[in-house]
Chains A and B, each alone.
Chain A
Amino acid sequence: DTAVSQTPKYLVTQMGNDKSIKCEQNLGHDTMYWYKQDSKKFLKIMFSYNNKELIINETVPNRFSPKSPDKAHLNLHINSLELGDSAVYFCASSQVGVAQYFGPGTRLTVL
């Protein structure tokens, strides 16, 4: 059983396009996150949702819009993709105050 799953695993697209990444967790956790890992492997939080409500937004460009239709899903939509958006995006989930469990990642390449 996959605890935190993301689709797609790989995403290659042209600059200016709009794309979405989907995340689902079957752990019953209340909180979900998006992290970005750059080419130097540096991981940084982007967003956090608790029970479908946005609680962390780490100064991410508003071209990035997370959406949480229910507490088991947190999708990431990116408008007008730029070269600098190329990275690996990780979804994670946790209960409050407990360790986060990460998905396998989505490698986004913007050409």
Chain B
Amino acid sequence: AQSVTQPDIHITVSEGASLELRCNYSYGATPYLFWYVQSPGQGLQLLLKYFSGDTLVQGIKGFEAEFKRSQSSFNLRKPSVHWSDAAEYFCAVGAGGAGNKLTFGGGTRVLVKP
């Protein structure tokens, strides 16, 4: 069965500082990997996805993530955080194919200090 672990429940970062959110997955085959962001009271917005190819993927809002098969990780990074990046971030793994069931991690809440 697939699973996703986000080890950090909360992260506080100063505005302008860099951000890295950790994600580890367990999946038997090549996974489809995703990062979503959820602002307070809002739905989930797709930040970026990895299906195959280049292991460094670029997303929206200046985010990027790197797939490392040897570490079963898909960490999300942003070089310089803005106050508007304060939100809950979810990593997810999917099997692809019909149905494409997504399994989500528990989320990491990011707080941005002025």
> Footprint of B on A, CB under 8 Å?
4, 31, 33, 35, 40-45, 48, 50, 55-56, 58, 90, 92, 94, 96-105
| Complex alpha-carbon distance, A43 and B45, angstroms | 14
B99 within 8 A of A: yes
Binds A, one of B11-19, B61-69, B71-79, B101-109: B101-109
B34 partner residues in chain A, CB cutoff 8 A: 99-100
| Complex alpha-carbon distance, A97 and B49, angstroms | 11
A35 partner residues in chain B, CB cutoff 8 A: 102
Q: Which of B41-63 contact A (CB under 8 A)?
A: 42-46, 49, 51
B98 partner residues in chain A, CB cutoff 8 A: 31, 50, 55, 96
Q: Which residue of B lies closest to A101 (CB)?
A: B46
B42 partner residues in chain A, CB cutoff 8 A: 104-105
B100 within 8 A of A: yes
| Complex alpha-carbon distance, A95 and B26, angstroms | 24
Check if A97 sits within 8 Å of B101, measured CB to CB: no
A103 partner residues in chain B, CB cutoff 8 A: 43
| Complex alpha-carbon distance, A94 and B99, angstroms | 9
Given the known interface contacts A97-B97, A102-B43, the answer about A42 and B104 at a Cβ–Cβ threshold of 8 Å is yes
Check if A43 sits within 8 Å of B100, measured CB to CB: no
Check if A43 sits within 8 Å of B90, measured CB to CB: yes
Given the known interface contacts A50-B99, A97-B32, A97-B96, the answer about A104 and B43 at a Cβ–Cβ threshold of 8 Å is yes
Which listed residue, A42, A48, A97, A105, touches B43 by the CB 8 Å rule? A105
Which listed residue, B44, B96, B101, touches A56 by the CB 8 Å rule? B101
Check if A48 sits within 8 Å of B101, measured CB to CB: yes
Distance to closest chain B CB from A108 (angstroms): 15
Q: Which residue of A lies closest to B104 (CB)?
A: A43
Distance to closest chain B CB from A56 (angstroms): 5
| Complex alpha-carbon distance, A58 and B101, angstroms | 10
